[in-house]
Structure 1
Amino acid sequence: MARIPLEDNFNDVINKAQRGLGISDADLAKRAEVSLADLAAVQGGKPIDAVLRRVARHLNLSPNALEDLAHKRWYPQQVVFPRSFAAFNTPCEDITVNSYLVWDPRDRVAAAFDTGATSEPMLDLIQAEGLTLRYIFLTHSHEDHVAGLAPLAAKTGAEVWGSELEPVPHPGAKVFRENAHFHVGTLAIKTLLTAGHSPGLTTFYVTGLSWPLAAVGDSLFASSLGGSETRFRDQLSSTKRKILTLPRDTVLACGHGPLTTVQQERDHNPFFAR
Structure 2
Amino acid sequence: MARPSIELVHDQPPASRLDASGTVARALAVLRTIADAGGEVGVKQVSDALHLPMSTAHRLLDLLSAEGYVERDPERRRYRAGLEWLRVSNRILSQENLPRLAVPMLTDLSRESGETALLSLYQPSHAAMIFAAKSDSPHMLRYEIDMYVRLPLVWGASGLSILAFLGAREQQAAIDRPHKPSASGEAFDEARLREKLTEVASRGYALTRGEKVAGAVGIAVPVRGSGSTVIGSIGLTIPAARFVPVHGDVYIAILKAAAARLMSRAG
TM over 0.5, yes or no? no
Q: TM-score range by the shorter chain?
A: under 0.3
More helix as a share of residues: 2
How does the TM-score come out when normalised to structure 1? Answer: 0.26
How does the TM-score come out when normalised to structure 2? Answer: 0.26
More strand as a share of residues: 1
